[in-house]
Amino acid sequence: MENVEFTEESNDLAQPAHAHETPTLVRWVLKTGIVKEEKQANYLLLGIAVVLLAITVFAYSRLLTPNNTTIRGNSGPMYYKNIPPEILEQLPPDVLSALPEKFYKEDLPKEVLNKIDPKLQNFIPSRPSQN
């Protein structure tokens, strides 16, 4: 065991030649001249990824949230200015002129409410219960 010698120059576990190669996207950013160093290019690419993620989250949240003025379970009233055109077309002019600025489903006369498509009635909020 005394005859064992270690040399520091020996590197039996050498890494592959491509291990220290600069990634393609970083090289592309460096080539554009926007940044000067590899570290800056990495930060720029990270920033772009974060911005794209934020845009994606915003876009999906807009797609998944209904664009209606009320959401089922919402206790707020329907505002006259926000009545969907599909409901406006079904309401007689005398009822439209009698509607207050904000109203609930219970504020509409039964005969008028019966003329509105049941699917559209769901977008008119009911008055919250006084529990």
DSSP 32-81: HTS-SSHHHHHHHHHHHHHHHHHHHHHHHHHHHS--SS--TT--SPEEGG
pLDDT at 49: 97
Nearest to 74 by CA among 122, 106, 112: 122
Nearest to 46 by CA among 28, 64, 25: 25
Q: What is the pTM of this model?
A: 0.41
Nearest to 126 by CA among 91, 80, 74, 84: 74
Q: Residue ranges of the domains in the chain?
A: 17-64, 68-131
Q: Which residues touch 76 (CB under 8 Å, ≥6 apart)?
A: 70, 125
pLDDT at 17: 60
What is the chain's pLDDT, residue by residue, as a tens digit (131 residues)? 577 776 666 555 666 666 678 899 999 999 999 999 999 999 999 999 999 999 999 988 877 765 544 444 456 788 888 888 887 887 778 777 777 788 888 887 787 777 777 877 787 888 887 65
